[in-house]
């Protein structure tokens, strides 16, 4: 996974998780009042449901109907939807990784500080462990071998009834798997350290966890509410938190916990209704996150320039203009090998469109063009064209209204020989120089450039969006790009500055000096 893909995934999971957190924060008190603390605590399942839903494959769209073939002028414009540059993505990923490390160290220090603060532990006859300290106890610690730890004055401070209730509380945590759940919460806090909502939600989750555990104990011994409440008041608050455990201290809402003791346990039908509500919320939240996720298909390395160890050779050139869903058209051009399929990739609003062309010379001045148009890997159309050299042709796949594309893909293309070069073919006249060390070592790769052009089509800024392998072909690609000229974007009849994404592929040369796989489209 590249840095850019990692950041995209973090962004998607952060948005989905934050939305689910807001839903739970807004509804937890209502759910507690209507269905009890246990189901209010279960509502936090909405958060992992939303996050996990984002990791599922995106929904497949139904194929679009195929419209008629028609001739259209070859439009020229620039790509306007981009991902961050590689350097920025790598830097952001490094900052995130450092934050994860620091957050993990912080929680580990809190855990160690709490455990060291317990002092010497001694095994009791009832199976629990007695600490030499008192703060924040009783508590249950240990993921693999959970242990109930009671304070040094456990026998003198609490009555036998209170002691039994408090130990039952801690055993309930163990039985419910709360320690492992808290470990997952701690992991999420480390991974999403940059999101303040996650930290706020973690505190409220622990509050709801204690309330749910209290409710379970009181439901079992309803006639001992008073003793249970007095035990809470006698508990001394801890000086620091316990990330991977459960204990009675550290800002737990004692007022809410005592007020909860006054509530009457919910009836079976009410609890059943709550389960249905929570399940429906979890399913709806997960489905919404899954349906809203953008496609994460990576930009393929079949690109617009074939860089060779030497000068460009004569051949054939195809120029493309692609418009998707009434967006501004995207222009690209490049060489092609007769009879060999070349693929052009376009990302648009989370969908990946592929235009695969197989162009074969026919009679003098004519070409047959076999096309395959795919959306997210699904074939949408496969028409065949016969075009004359230098003349425009086009294909529309989708829906049109009043001679305007509403939904789908509109393709314009023109085929000519490479020796009939125009200003916008400078990418073919000036291919990147293949680095000598990479050529000698048989190293190939690709670079995706982001090129800012002025109204005359001259590059003003060239940046590397991503490269493979990193840094090997960057300088050669940037140097060549400043020699290129592009068709500027036309807006309201006037040329305006714009930005383009230009993929560049480097095929390692073989003995005869030609790329191993032949030239790539441009």
Q: What is the pLDDT along the chain (522 residues), one digit of tens a residue?
A: 667 678 888 888 999 899 999 999 998 888 888 888 888 888 998 898 888 888 877 655 444 444 334 333 333 322 222 333 344 677 888 999 999 999 999 999 988 888 888 888 999 988 899 998 877 788 899 888 999 999 888 888 889 998 999 899 999 999 999 999 999 999 999 999 999 999 999 999 988 898 888 888 888 888 888 888 888 777 755 445 666 666 655 445 666 676 666 666 666 777 788 788 888 887 887 777 777 665 443 333 333 333 333 333 345 677 777 888 877 777 766 666 778 888 888 888 878 888 888 888 887 778 888 899 888 888 888 888 888 887 888 888 877 666 665 678 888 888 876 543 344 455 556 778 888 888 888 888 888 888 888 888 888 888 888 888 888 888 888 888 888 887 777 666 677 888 888 888 887 765 544 444 433 434
Q: How far apart are CA 421 and CA 402, in angstroms?
A: 35
The encoded tokens of residue 245 equal: 């455990």
User: Is residue 68 packed enough to be buried (19+ CB in 10 Å), middle (13-18) or exposed (0-12)?
Assistant: exposed
According to CATH, the topology of domain 299-313+418-522 is TolA/TonB C-terminal domain (3.30.2420)
When computed from its CA atoms, the radius of gyration of the chain, rounded to whole angstroms, is 32
Q: How far apart are CA 83 and CA 89, in angstroms?
A: 9
DSSP string across 411-463: EEEEEEETTS--GGGHHHHSPPPPPHHHHHTT--EEEEEEEEE-TTS-EEEEE
Task: Report domain extents, the chain.
Answer: 1-83+275-296+315-417, 87-265, 299-313+418-522
| Per-residue pLDDT at 333 | 64
| Per-residue pLDDT at 12 | 86
Considering the entire predicted model, what is its pTM? 0.53
Beta strand 445-453 with 129-130 is unpaired
Residue 168 Cα distances to 2, 204, 234, 435, angstroms: 49, 23, 17, 71
**Residues contacting residue 263 through CB under 8 Å, at least 6 positions apart:** 36
The encoded tokens of residue 393 equal: 């042709």
| Per-residue pLDDT at 242 | 66
Query: Phi and psi at residue 245, in whole multiples of 5°?
Result: -170, -175
- Find the helix or strand (DSSP H, E) in which 416 lies: strand 404-417
CB neighbours (10 Å) of residue 142? 15
Q: How far apart are CA 364 and CA 186, in angstroms?
A: 70
Q: How far apart are CA 479 and CA 471, in angstroms?
A: 13
| Per-residue pLDDT at 418 | 54
**At which residue do the structure tokens 């200003």 appear?**
423
| Per-residue pLDDT at 362 | 82
- Find the helix or strand (DSSP H, E) in which 110 lies: helix 86-117
Q: How far apart are CA 329 and CA 43, in angstroms?
A: 46
| Per-residue pLDDT at 147 | 93
| Per-residue pLDDT at 161 | 92
- Are the C-beta atoms of residues 12 and 192 closer than 8 Å to each other? no
| Per-residue pLDDT at 426 | 58
**At which residue do the structure tokens 């003003």 appear?**
460
Could you tell me how far CA 455 lies from the centroid of its own chain?
35
């Amino acid at each position: 996974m590249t840095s850019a893909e990692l950041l995209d995934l973090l962004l998607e999971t952060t948005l989905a998780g934050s939305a689910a957190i807001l839903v739970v924060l807004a509804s937890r008190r209502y759910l507690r009042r209507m269905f009890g603390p246990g189901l209010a605590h279960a509502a936090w399942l909405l958060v992992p449901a939303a996050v996990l839903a984002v990791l599922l494959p995106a929904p497949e769209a139904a194929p679009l109907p195929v419209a008629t073939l028609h001739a259209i002028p070859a439009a020229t414009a620039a790509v306007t939807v981009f991902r961050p540059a590689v350097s920025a993505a790598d830097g952001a990923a490094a900052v995130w990784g450092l934050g994860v490390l620091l957050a993990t160290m912080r929680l580990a220090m809190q855990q160690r500080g709490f455990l060291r603060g317990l002092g010497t532990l001694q095994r009791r006859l009832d199976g629990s462990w007695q600490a030499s300290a008192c703060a924040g106890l009783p508590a249950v610690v240990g993921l693999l071998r959970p242990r109930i730890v009671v304070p040094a004055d456990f026998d003198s401070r609490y009555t036998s009834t209170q002691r039994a209730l408090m130990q039952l509380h801690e055993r309930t945590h163990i039985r419910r798997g709360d320690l492992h759940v808290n470990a997952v919460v701690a992991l999420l806090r480390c991974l999403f350290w940059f999101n303040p909502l996650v930290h706020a939600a973690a505190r409220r989750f622990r509050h709801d966890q204690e309330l749910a555990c209290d409710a379970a104990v009181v439901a079992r011994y309803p006639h001992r509410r008073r003793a249970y409440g007095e035990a809470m008041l006698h508990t001394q608050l801890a000086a620091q938190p316990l990330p991977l455990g459960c204990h009675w201290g550290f800002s737990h809402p004692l007022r809410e916990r005592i007020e909860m003791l006054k509530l009457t346990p919910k009836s079976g039908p009410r609890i059943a209704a709550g389960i249905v509500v929570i399940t429906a919320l979890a399913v709806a939240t997960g489905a919404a996150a899954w349906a809203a996720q953008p496609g994460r298909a990576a930009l393929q390395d079949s690109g617009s320039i074939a860089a060779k160890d030497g000068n460009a050779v004569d051949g054939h050139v195809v120029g493309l203009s692609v418009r998707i869903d009434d967006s501004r058209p995207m222009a690209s051009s490049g060489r092609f090998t007769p009879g060999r399929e070349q693929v052009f990739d376009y990302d648009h609003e989370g969908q990946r469109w592929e235009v695969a062309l197989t162009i074969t010379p026919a009679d003098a001045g004519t070409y047959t063009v076999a096309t395959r148009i795919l959306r997210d890997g699904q074939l949408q159309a496969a028409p065949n064209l016969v075009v004359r050299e230098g003349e425009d042709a086009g294909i529309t796949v989708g829906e049109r209204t009043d001679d305007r594309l509403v939904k789908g893909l509109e393709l314009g293309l023109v085929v000519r020989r490479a020796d009939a070069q125009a200003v916008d073919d400078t990418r073919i006249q000036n291919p990147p120089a293949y680095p000598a060390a990479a050529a000698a070592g048989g190293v190939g790769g690709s670079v995706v450039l982001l090129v800012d052009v002025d109204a005359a089509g001259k590059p003003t800024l060239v940046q590397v969006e991503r490269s493979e392998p990193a840094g090997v072909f960057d300088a050669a690609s940037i140097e060549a790009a400043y020699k290129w000229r592009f068709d500027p974007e036309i807006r309201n009849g006037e040329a305006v500055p714009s930005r383009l994404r230009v993929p560049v592929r480097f095929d390692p040369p073989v003995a005869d000096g030609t790329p191993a796989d032949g030239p790539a489209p441009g």
